Amino acid sequence: MEDRQLSGEFKWSMLGDLNLGREHLGAEMPVLVYRLFQYTMRAVLAREYGTEEMIRLFRKSGELAGEEFAENILDLTLSREAFFAELQEKLKELQIGILRFEEFDEENGHAVLTVGEDLDCSGLPVSGECVCNYDEGFISGILGKYFKRPYEAVEVDCWARGDRVCRFEANKR
């Protein structure tokens, strides 16, 4: 059997059965552990490949995650308003963040949204950088899957830059 994890392929089923595998510890873990993984991965990738390539890779992996999340967790047949409401509910339920749509213009495919208490950065020290590259991809993947056209989300405000929420502008490509 081919080792799918090393081949670059991803399937939702690779996430496994958390109830079976974590019978005593459960599916929850502290944000600290998630950030330890994320920020050490960012550091190693930036050292090995440079900052721009690290950012590109985080966006691409976030986009794949967003597409898979949309396909496996969200109802892609809902009306736009119902889909946005479900997305807000799921992100809060899974403790990813508190999503709010500030603007959405379906005609030109432009959206502005915020994520409060963002899993990736809320509470980080101010570095002057937008660091939610994974989130940029995640949002792009979700919107792209729902609207059946590619999207690109870019973070314009970030806790790590001194803002109190992360703000993203998303546009169809």
Tokens at 157, concatenated: 């405000």
**CB half-sphere exposure, 149, CA atoms < 13 A:** 10
* Residue 32 included in any domain: no
Residues 18-55 have pLDDT tens digits of 889 999 999 999 999 999 999 999 999 999 999 999 99
Beta bridge partners of 99: 115
In this prediction the pTM is 0.94
* Residue 102 included in any domain: yes
CATH number at residue 155: 3.30.1380.20
* Residue 99 included in any domain: yes
Domain count, the chain: 1
* Residue 146 included in any domain: yes
Residues 88-129 have pLDDT tens digits of 999 999 999 999 999 999 899 999 999 999 999 999 999 999
* Residue 106 included in any domain: yes
| Domain containing residue 67 | 56-172
Angle in degrees, 0-180, between the axes of helices 51-73 and 31-49, rounded to the nearest 10 = 140
